[in-house]
Structure 1
Amino acid sequence: MAKRLFQPKVQTVGSVSEFLSGEGTLKKEIARFNRHAAAHGLKASLTTLATGVTAVSITGKAFVTHASAQAVTVQGGPVDYVKGKAKEQIVQAFQPLVDMIQALSYPIALVMLTGGALLFMINQKDKGISLIQNASIGYILVQLMPLMMQLLVGIGGAVG
């Protein structure tokens, strides 16, 4: 009798109810989160509520929970970390739009400067100079837009 070359492997991964509820993959994701969040003093865990719903709770050194399930945060805690990450993702999401506006500002300013020069040439100096000034100031403001937004965010962070 010949031995089979490929034997099927049997691997036990958990119960059927764990598979159907998805807790196995959720536990793996929480373990992965805990590896990355340990540097920030955070830890996630699974909690099964009385209603049978599985919830993820995040705890850390920086906040204390009360019996009423309200959290008191200390500066530098998980709330600040999440706010920083959310702000970072929003800025990254709008960056292509900012880049497009900055790229479009050059040809638009060029057309306006040319139009202002033509108006100046046909003896409409006031309109021509006004158009040149507006195009120049507008181009500079569009190019400085990211710097001004960082300044506003910094002021908002200092005030809030």
Structure 2
Amino acid sequence: MRTQSMTISEFMSGEYKVKKRSFSQMKTAAASVLPLSLLPTFASAQTVTPEVVPAGATEWMSEKALQTIAHALDPLVDIMVALSFPVASVIIMGACFFFMLGKSERAWSTIMNCGLGYVLIQVMPLLLNVLKEVGGAI
């Protein structure tokens, strides 16, 4: 095993890991890259230039901002849709206890409010998509 001594700055910079190339190795590398340097001249005759769509920074930024805002509440909406059935089930069971206690008016009111809330939460993704389409059309 060979011991090598170096300064702390050489160790920290990582210079000791880089192998030094000789002049003959550099000539060989240059010779192998030379044919590749001619490639763009041959390839340019065969390539199709992409269609450029003129758009200013404001249009691009406003579109990106609109997409970000439109999808900012998606995780919250997904959680609400997923939790709406279990929560509605618990509330309706609670309303059934109101029937057992003789408060039928409050029981019916709770069931109707719970059903309306459940339906609105389930339809919310559709309503948000409609609003997004209306906003995009304006």
Q: TM-score, normalised by structure 1?
A: 0.48
Partner of 1:140: 119
Q: Is 1:100 the equivalent of 2:88? A: no
Partner of 2:96: 117
Structure 1: segments with no counterpart, 5+ residues: 1-5, 11-37, 42-59, 64-77
Q: Quote the Cα distance in structure 1 between the aligned partners of 2:51 and 2:97.
A: 62
Q: Which has the larger radius of gyration?
A: 2
| One of 64, 74, 85 as aligned partner of 1:85 | 64
> In the alignment, residue 82 of structure 2 is paired with which amino acid?
A
Moved more, 85-94 or 108-117: 85-94
After superposition, the C-alpha distances for 1:22-71 in whole angstroms (9 at most, x for unaligned) are xxxxxxxxxxxxxxxx5561xxxxxxxxxxxxxxxxxx2x67xxxxxxxx
Q: Quote the Cα distance in structure 2 between the aligned partners of 1:134 and 1:147.
A: 20
Residues 1:40 and 1:127: Cα distance change in structure 2 (over 3 Å): farther
The alignment of Structure 1 onto Structure 2 pairs a total of residues equal to 94
- Structure showing the higher helix proportion among its residues: 2
How many angstroms does 1:114 deviate by?
0.6
Moved more, 94-103 or 128-137: 94-103
> In the alignment, residue 71 of structure 2 is paired with which amino acid?
Q
Q: Quote the Cα distance in structure 2 between the aligned partners of 1:138 and 1:103.
A: 13
> In the alignment, residue 85 of structure 2 is paired with which amino acid?
Y
After superposition, the C-alpha distances for 1:80-101 in whole angstroms (9 at most, x for unaligned) are 5543333223333321111112
- Structure showing the higher strand proportion among its residues: 1
Moved over 6 A (4+): none
After superposition, the C-alpha distances for 1:110-139 in whole angstroms (9 at most, x for unaligned) are 111111111123221110011011001101
Secondary structure, in 3 states, of the residue corresponding to 1:108? helix
How many angstroms does 1:108 deviate by?
1.7
Secondary structure, in 3 states, of the residue corresponding to 2:72? helix
Q: Quote the Cα distance in structure 1 between the aligned partners of 2:131 and 2:71.
A: 17
Secondary structure, in 3 states, of the residue corresponding to 1:144? helix
Q: Quote the Cα distance in structure 2 between the aligned partners of 1:40 and 1:135.
A: 53
Structure 2: segments with no counterpart, 5+ residues: 1-18, 27-49
Q: Quote the Cα distance in structure 2 between the aligned partners of 1:90 and 1:122.
A: 47
What is the root-mean-square deviation of aligned Cα atoms in Å? 2.7
Q: TM-score, normalised by structure 2?
A: 0.54
Structure with the larger RCO, 1 or 2 (CA within 8 Å, 6+ apart): 2
